[in-house]
């Protein structure tokens, strides 16, 4: 669970029950409390990039989601469900590093009911087609779930609507409050995992692999659909053996449980590399452009991916082994 060093309350959030409750709770803790009149989050300290990053990652903003227009979320879902933004994790390669500004605070929205009512409008517009919502497009919502219960409310809301599905991904393990909810198998919980080596080298402030697998087992036992995202895959010395051990370990622990896999090879943009180097100057993340292929992206910027031959080999490796250990039709995509 995220234990912030400072909490910034938007004044509008204090008009909601949950905002008031959080305010009363945090007042009793050893936490710096600040206020924002207009929703602008300021006053997070930091004299260099690493400090700004770290102070941001230790800050919780309690606010409301004003705009109720949902962003699209292709290809895995139709819309992002904006319950939380940001993440307490400090993964060096994280895609959020280029999206959340220099002080990447975690923001929870206390107007959950309004957000869910709005999701209902999107569902009605698409009926009789099913609308899928993604709850972790710009966050890892699990470490703050015990503050708001927002994911739990969303799970039950979508569980009661036959035209909706919900999914989110996490690396965290505080999932006990989700067990026993009326999800009606309409929520898929995916766990983002990697080899122990990658987790200990790059995924700072996240749970160990073993703990993630334990949490995944609990949600599967709780009847949720389960997925694993193996990402980012790094092709380091001995990667085949270590990723194979990971797949074998899952196949033993999750025997008989239906699992969906997504596998994503490591990639980076020039901008992300610059950000990472300024926050983690001693990083050993492999980001040498000369060993990668350049792929033009959709939005005018390109990314560095593994060379074609390496990538094809990696795709073959994962597809063969996932089929071998889990059967056919378990792979959502491998890229
Ligand atoms: S846990 Fe996920 S969202 Fe959080 S920092 Fe790591 S990669 Fe980013």
Q: Of all atoms in ligand 1, which is nearest to the CA of residue 90?
A: 5
- Tell me the C-alpha distance between 301 and 271, whole Å: 9
For residues 48-55, average pLDDT? 96
In DSSP terms, 294 is beta-bridged to 304
Q: Taking all residues of the chain, what is their mean pLDDT, rounded to a whole number?
A: 96
**Confidence tier at 74 by pLDDT (50, 70, 90):** confident
Q: DSSP string of 26-46?
A: HHTSS-EEEEESSS-------
- Report pLDDT digits (tens) over 258-306: 999 999 999 999 999 999 999 999 999 999 999 999 998 766 679 999 9
- Report pLDDT digits (tens) over 142-180: 999 999 999 999 999 999 999 999 999 999 999 999 999
CA of 58 to the centre of ligand 1 (A): 14
CA of 247 to the centre of ligand 1 (A): 21
For residues 202-222, average pLDDT? 98
pLDDT value of position 75: 80
pLDDT value of position 189: 98
- Tell me the C-alpha distance between 175 and 177, whole Å: 6
Residue 62 pLDDT greater than 90, yes or no: yes
Residue 100 pLDDT greater than 80, yes or no: yes
CA of 335 to the centre of ligand 1 (A): 19
**Quick check: 203 and 91 in contact, CB under 8 A?**
yes
For residues 105-125, average pLDDT? 97
Residues 6+ apart with CB under 8 A from 50: 278, 279, 280, 281
CA of 32 to the centre of ligand 1 (A): 24
Q: Of all atoms in ligand 1, which is nearest to the CA of residue 172?
A: 1
Chain centroid to CA 33: how far? Answer: 26
Topology given in CATH for the domain delimited by 6-334: pyruvate-formate lyase- activating enzyme (3.80.30)
Q: Whose Cα sits closest to atom 6 in ligand 1? A: 91
Which burial class, exposed, middle or buried, applies to 243 when counting CB atoms under 10 A from its CB (0-12, 13-18, 19+)? buried
247: left (phi over 0), alpha (psi -120 to 50) or beta: alpha
Q: Of all atoms in ligand 1, which is nearest to the CA of residue 140?
A: 3
Instruction: Give, for ligand 1, the residue of 94, 137, 143 to mutate: max count of ligand atoms closer than 8 Å to Cβ.
Output: 94
**Confidence tier at 3 by pLDDT (50, 70, 90):** very high
- Tell me the C-alpha distance between 132 and 137, whole Å: 12
Residue 36 pLDDT greater than 90, yes or no: yes
pLDDT value of position 301: 76
**Higher per-residue pLDDT: 97 or 217:** 217
Residue with tokens 């889990």: 326
Q: Of all atoms in ligand 1, which is nearest to the CA of residue 93?
A: 7
For residues 307-313, average pLDDT? 98
pLDDT value of position 297: 75
pLDDT value of position 188: 98
The Cα angle at residue 250 between residues 145 and 316, in degrees rounded to 5: 110
**Quick check: 149 and 108 in contact, CB under 8 A?**
no
CA of 97 to the centre of ligand 1 (A): 9
Q: What percent of the chain has pLDDT over 70?
A: 99
CA of 94 to the centre of ligand 1 (A): 5
**Quick check: 161 and 129 in contact, CB under 8 A?**
no
Q: pTM of the predicted model, to two decimals?
A: 0.96
Instruction: Give, for ligand 1, the residue of 86, 87, 144 to mutate: max count of ligand atoms closer than 8 Å to Cβ.
Output: 87
Residue 321 pLDDT greater than 90, yes or no: yes
**Among 74-78, 188-192, 288-292, 320-324, the least confident range:** 74-78
pLDDT value of position 38: 87
Which residues does ligand 1 sit against, CB inside 6 Å? 87, 89, 91, 94, 96, 140, 171, 203, 206
């Amino acid at each position: 669970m995220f234990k912030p060093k400072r909490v910034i309350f938007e004044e509008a959030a204090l008009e909601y029950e949950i905002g008031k409750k959080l305010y009363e709770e945090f007042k009793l803790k050893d936490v710096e409390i600040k206020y924002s009149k207009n929703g602008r989050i300021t006053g997070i300290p930091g004299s260099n990039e690493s400090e700004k990053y770290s102070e941001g990652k230790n800050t919780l903003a309690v606010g409301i989601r004003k705009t109720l227009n949902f962003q699209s979320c292709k290809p895995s879902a139709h819309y992002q469900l904006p319950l939380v933004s940001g993440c307490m994790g400090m993964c060096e390669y994280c895609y959020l590093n280029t999206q959340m500004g220099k002080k990447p605070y975690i923001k929870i929205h206390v107007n959950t009911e309004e957000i869910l009512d709005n999701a209902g409008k999107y569902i009605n517009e698409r009926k009789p087609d099913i609308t899928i919502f993604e709850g972790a497009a710009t966050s890892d919502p699990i470490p703050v779930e015990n503050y708001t219960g927002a994911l739990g409310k969303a799970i039950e809301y979508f569980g009661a609507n036959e035209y909706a599905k919900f999914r989110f991904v996490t690396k965290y393990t505080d999932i006990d409050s989700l067990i026993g909810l009326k999800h009606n198998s309409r929520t898929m919980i995916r766990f983002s995992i990697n080899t122990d080596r990658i987790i200990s080298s790059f995924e700072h402030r996240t749970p160990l692999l073993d703990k993630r697998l334990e949490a995944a087992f609990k949600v599967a036992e709780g009847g949720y659909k389960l997925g694993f995202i193996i990402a980012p895959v790094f092709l380091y010395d001995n990667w085949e053996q270590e990723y194979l051990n990971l797949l074998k370990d899952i196949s033993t622990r999750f025997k008989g449980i239906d699992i969906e896999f997504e596998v994503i090879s490591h990639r980076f943009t020039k901008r992300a590399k610059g950000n990472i180097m300024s926050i983690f100057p001693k990083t050993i993340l492999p980001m040498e452009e000369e060993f990668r292929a350049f792929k033009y992206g959709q939005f005018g910027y390109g990314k560095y991916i593994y060379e074609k031959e390496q990538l094809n080999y990696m795709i073959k490796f994962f597809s063969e082994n996932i089929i071998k250990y889990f059967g056919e039709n378990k792979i959502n995509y491998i890229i």
